[in-house]
Every structure is written in structure tokens, then in C-alpha cells.
């Protein structure tokens, strides 16, 4: 995927279309990590305008938490807090792959929904 996007970005610049930004479908399958290579390429990231949107969820139960990406269970954690649960929305950065200097992170939230059983 990164090689294909890199080739497209180079061709766009060659054709004088360097201001055109690519929309990249972010991985929803956690075991297929093609995003890391893209993030590590400053040249390619200069051409990426947005990664696509996803729906994230957490089903907090007395016996554990099930985390979802786009409606698919991706991780199960045993145990849960007995106290109140807070919803935290943040644009976290993975410290092993820091953003390029001068990078500005943007996160757009369409909605937040919570309910109690």
C-alpha cells in the first residue's frame, strides 16, 4: 500500500498537482499494519490529506471490556472498574512513531454516544 500511494503522490507532483491531497483508508484490521510505513515517509505524508473515519466502541461489562472498530470486536480485556467510567476523546500519539516536526494533528468527532444498561 505505501509503495502504491508513494507512486501516486510522485505522479501527482510530476503532473503539477502537488496540492491534491490523498484520502487514505485507515486500517481497521489491527493485524495488517501498513499505516506505519506511510507515517514514516515524510514525502508521502506531505501528500496525505486525511485518513478515513471509523466508529470505535467499548462494551463495558462486569466481567470485562470488549473493544470494537467499525462494529468488529478487536480486543477483549478481562475485568472492569467498579467505579464510574469516563469517556475520554483524545488524539493520542504513539511514542514509538512520533510525528514529523511541525506536524499538526487534527481529530474530527462526528458524535459521542453512551448509554447505561
Mean pLDDT over each residue of the chain, to the nearest integer: 75
Q: What is the pLDDT of residue 26?
A: 58
By residue range, what is the domain housing residue 13? Answer: 1-53
Whether 8 has a pLDDT exceeding 70, the answer reads: yes
Q: Give the pLDDT band (50/70/90) at residue 2.
A: low
- Structural domain tally of the chain? 2
Same domain membership, residue 59 and residue 48: no
Same domain membership, residue 32 and residue 11: yes
Most distant CA pair in the chain, distance: 59
Global pTM value: 0.49
Same domain membership, residue 12 and residue 36: yes
5, 7, 20, 57 from 13: Cα distances, Å = 12, 10, 9, 38
Buried b (16+ CB within 10 A) or exposed e, 3-35: eebbeebeebeeeeeeeeebebeebeeeeeeeb
Q: Is residue 15 part of a domain?
A: yes
Q: What is the pLDDT of residues 16-62, one digit of tens each?
A: 877 777 666 655 454 555 666 776 777 777 777 666 667 888 898 88
Q: Is residue 7 part of a domain?
A: yes
Same domain membership, residue 60 and residue 32: no
C-alpha 100/C-alpha 94 separation (Å) is: 12
Strands (DSSP E) contained in the chain are 22-24, 48-51, 56-61, 64-69, 72-78
Of 12, 37, 53, the position where a domain reaches its end is: 53
Q: What is the pLDDT of residue 10?
A: 83
Same domain membership, residue 34 and residue 61: no
Amino acid at each position: 500500500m505505501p509503495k502504491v500511494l508513494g507512486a501516486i503522490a510522485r505522479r501527482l507532483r510530476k503532473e503539477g498537482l502537488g496540492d491534491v491531497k490523498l484520502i487514505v483508508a485507515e486500517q481497521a484490521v489491527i493485524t495488517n499494519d501498513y499505516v506505519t510505513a506511510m507515517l514514516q515517509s515524510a514525502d508521502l505524508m506531505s501528500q496525505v490529506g486525511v485518513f478515513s473515519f471509523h466508529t470505535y466502541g467499548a462494551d463495558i461489562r462486569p466481567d470485562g471490556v470488549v473493544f470494537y472498530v467499525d462494529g468488529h470486536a478487536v480486543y477483549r480485556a478481562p475485568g472492569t472498574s467498579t467505579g464510574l467510567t469516563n469517556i475520554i476523546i483524545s488524539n493520542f500519539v504513539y511514542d514509538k512513531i512520533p510525528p514529523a516536526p511541525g506536524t499538526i494533528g487534527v481529530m474530527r468527532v462526528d458524535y459521542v454516544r453512551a448509554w447505561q444498561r
